[in-house]
Amino acid sequence: MIERRRRGTIDLAARSTAPTVLIYDSLPTPGFRGYENSALRARRSAEINTDSDTLPNLPRRSPMPAPKPQKASTFRLSKVVGFTITTQPEKAKAFYSKTLGFRFVKDDGFALVFDAHGTMLRISKLKQFTPAQFTVLGWEVEDIEAAVAELVRRGVVFERYPGMPQDTNAICTFPGEARVAWFKDPDGNVLSLSQHYR
């Protein structure tokens, strides 16, 4: 049995045991599912010339530029500058140059500048300040006993702290074999010598 129906209509007639062939005599109507897809295919067919190898004149995106190679960063913090404070510039100058052996570079009006064997050391000049109760500058040495003995010979007095395991040379040995001895400059700044075993 052959029936002719318009798309978009529904026939609720009684079912027949014979197969039914549906023939659509019109294009899909708006509102029917698949209408938009059918219309889109029709427009695309009209745009594309099937007899040629050319594509329709559609806008093309420009290719994305290749990413620029990134340069390795050359930034690094290279040299440490040491700082401490003095209220007695002349005594500090003598102590750091003659007793500790650092080369005096200049007095720039704000600080005494020393070359501590390749490290800049600035002793800032203030009218008054209270020294810190902890180490503000320290130097690593290869033989701490020899270094302590030499500074004692130059007039340095090493500090002793109650409860610290210090030997007769005021050297304290910490777990891990690090050894430290403390002393002060003329302004009361705590300085240290240390020997580290790696």
Work out whether strand 2-5 and strand 21-24 pair parallel, antiparallel, or are unpaired: parallel
| The predicted structure's pLDDT at residue 62 | 72
List pLDDT tens digits, range 141-196.
999 999 999 999 999 999 999 999 999 999 999 988 899 999 999 999 999 999 99
DSSP states of 13-51: PPP-SS--EEEE-SPPPTTSTTHHHHHHHHHHHHHS-TT
Please name the residues in contact with 141: beta carbons below 8 A apart, sequence gap of 6 or more.
Answer: 147, 193, 194, 195
CATH code of residue 143 = 3.10.180.10
Q: Are residues 17 and 34 in the same domain?
A: yes
| The predicted structure's pLDDT at residue 63 | 76
Domain that holds residue 84: 80-129
State how far the Cα of 101 lies from the Cα of 117, in Å rounded to an integer: 9
Q: Are residues 139 and 189 in the same domain?
A: yes
> With a threshold of 0.85, does the pTM exceed it?
no
| The predicted structure's pLDDT at residue 73 | 80
Q: Are residues 118 and 147 in the same domain?
A: no
What are the strands of the beta sheet with 190-195, ordered from one edge? 135-140, 190-195, 179-184, 172-173
| The predicted structure's pLDDT at residue 127 | 96
> Is there a domain that residue 54 lies in?
no
Q: Are the CB atoms for 93 and 84 separated by under 8 Å?
A: no
> Is there a domain that residue 65 lies in?
no
> Is there a domain that residue 53 lies in?
no
| The predicted structure's pLDDT at residue 54 | 54
Q: Are residues 99 and 138 in the same domain?
A: no
Residues of the chain with pLDDT under 70: 1-61
Q: Are the CB atoms for 93 and 112 separated by under 8 Å?
A: yes
| The predicted structure's pLDDT at residue 64 | 76
